[in-house]
Chains A and B, each alone.
Chain A
Amino acid sequence: MAEHRILIVEDSPTMRQLLLFALKRLKGVDIVEANDGMDGLRKVTSDHFDLAFVDINMPVMDGLKLISLIRGEQNLEQMSICVITTEGASEDRERALALGANEYLTKPIQANKVLAVAKSLLKIE
């Protein structure tokens, strides 16, 4: 039985695989992937997750919309969200944090930073 469940919401298979690779190093963690915002919303509403990595630029439903919907759900308040942005100081990142995201990562993604963010948000030593 996994101690923590993580959802990766990212349309790019390269990024998904990279995030998966980094997060697999955490013990007792179950990782689920979603291809876009809509898929991500379906998964967070039908299953329990402790943390979600959400890309901002995605087809069908973007990351900002997904975050606002997640934060609008009372039973999803406890779930931590880390947004993945392309630009360092973009409005998107600030909007995501204002909408209720807990952390952000900028591209290019580094595995050690992904791990550090996951450990911090999941409170893993």
Chain B
Amino acid sequence: MSDGRGEQGDRGEAVLAVFQRGADFARELLAENERLRSRVNAIETRQREAAQSPGDWDKLRYELLQRIETLESENRDIMEQLKAVESENHQFAERYIEIEEENNNLANLYVASYQLHSTLDPSEVLRIIVEIVINLIGAEIFCVYVCPENSNLLEPVAAEGADLELFHEIEIGVGPVGEAVACGDVVCRDSEPAGGELADQVPIVAIPLRVEDLPIGAIAVHRLLQQKAGFSALDHELFTLLAGHAATAIFASRLYAQSERKLSTIQGFIDLLTK
């Protein structure tokens, strides 16, 4: 019996707790309702006040218009800054391309000059000149002439794209190649030479090889590789580089070969005397 009463008491407490929570929730709703009511009242009061004094509306409108103007001006400034940045970006991109091209050109020039001065063997120097003219300039038919010491003639010593025998000796000062060597200026034409004997053709480029006023030789380019449309700024730089550096390389290797020969002769003479 006492257990049954205890059970009923627990259930009653549980029901009371539920009602209590319901009552708390109802009170919270009433409080929220009151708060919303007071907010609505405040808004209605402000609206009535604003409707009664049109000056406030004008003031507010003026302030808003001012704000819009300021924002528009800021927007214009930002747009101008954006344009300036875009233009600067464009300039940087163009400059980057220019520097890249310059870098590539310098790499070619560096490789050419490095190779030319990498040996003192005359035949090796000649081979390097030929390599540069094929690989860096893109010539298909060309001839390298060398001027022997105390001579007024340019002798063909290496040719590519045609037999060496097809090229003849050239007198300095005579013909386009001879004239280029005499005056020391690179002679460059835009068009390919007309048909006929190679030796009689006017080359597209005649590069004089000189050390100061001393003629060393010449390079005559008669035809460019099929895929090479014309000469670039780099090609002209390479012509100038070859005119100076190839001449110096040939001259140095020639002097070295002579000194080697003399040394060998002297050594032979000493050996003869001492044995």
Residues on A facing B (Cβ under 8 Å) = 12-15, 17-18, 21-22, 86-89, 106-112
Chain B residues lying within 8 Å of A109, measured Cβ to Cβ, are 135-136
The answer to whether the Cβ of B128 comes within 8 Å of any Cβ in the partner chain is: yes
Complex CA–CA separation, A22 to B107 (angstroms): 8
Chain A residues lying within 8 Å of B225, measured Cβ to Cβ, are 86-88, 106-108
Complex CA–CA separation, A14 to B129 (angstroms): 10
Is A108 touching B115 in the complex (CB atoms < 8 A)?
no
Chain A residues lying within 8 Å of B191, measured Cβ to Cβ, are none
**Given A111-B104, A111-B108, A112-B100, A18-B136 contact (CB < 8 Å):** yes
**Given A86-B225, A87-B227, A88-B225, A107-B107 contact (CB < 8 Å):** no
Is B111 touching A17 in the complex (CB atoms < 8 A)?
yes
Complex CA–CA separation, A115 to B225 (angstroms): 22
The chain B residue with its CB closest to the CB of A22 is B107
Task: Compute the total of residue contacts between A and B using a CB distance below 8 Å.
Answer: 61
Complex CA–CA separation, A87 to B225 (angstroms): 7
Residues on B facing A (Cβ under 8 Å) = 100-101, 103-104, 107-108, 110-112, 114-115, 118, 128, 131-132, 134-138, 225-228
Chain B residues lying within 8 Å of A22, measured Cβ to Cβ, are 104, 107
Complex CA–CA separation, A12 to B135 (angstroms): 9
Complex CA–CA separation, A21 to B64 (angstroms): 64
Q: 5 nearest interchain CB pairs?
A: A88-B227, A108-B138, A111-B104, A14-B131, A88-B226
**Given A13-B115, A86-B225, A18-B107 contact (CB < 8 Å):** yes
Q: Min CB distance, B230 to chain A, in Å? A: 12
